[in-house]
Amino acid sequence: MRIRESPEGSLIYDPLRQKWVALTPEEWVRQHFVNYLTGHLKYPPGLIQVEASFRLNTMLRRADILVHDRYGEPVLIVECKAPEVKISQAVFDQVINYNFSYGVKYLVVTNGMKHYSGKIDSAANTFTLLDHIPDYESVIAPEL
Q: Give exposure, 71-82, as e/b (b: 16+ Cβ within 10 Å).
A: eeebbbbbbbbe
Task: Check if the beta carbon of residue 35 is closer than 8 Å to that of residue 65.
Answer: no
The C-alpha atoms of residue 30 and residue 113 are separated, in whole angstroms, by 12
Task: Check if the beta carbon of residue 56 is closer than 8 Å to that of residue 94.
Answer: no
User: What are the pLDDT digits (tens) for 1-40?
Assistant: 899 999 989 999 999 999 999 999 999 999 999 999 999 9
Confirm or reject CATH 3.90.1570.30 for domain 25-140, answering yes or no. yes
User: What are the pLDDT digits (tens) for 72-86?
Assistant: 999 999 999 999 999
pTM of the complete model: 0.91
* Average pLDDT of the segment spanning 37-55: 93
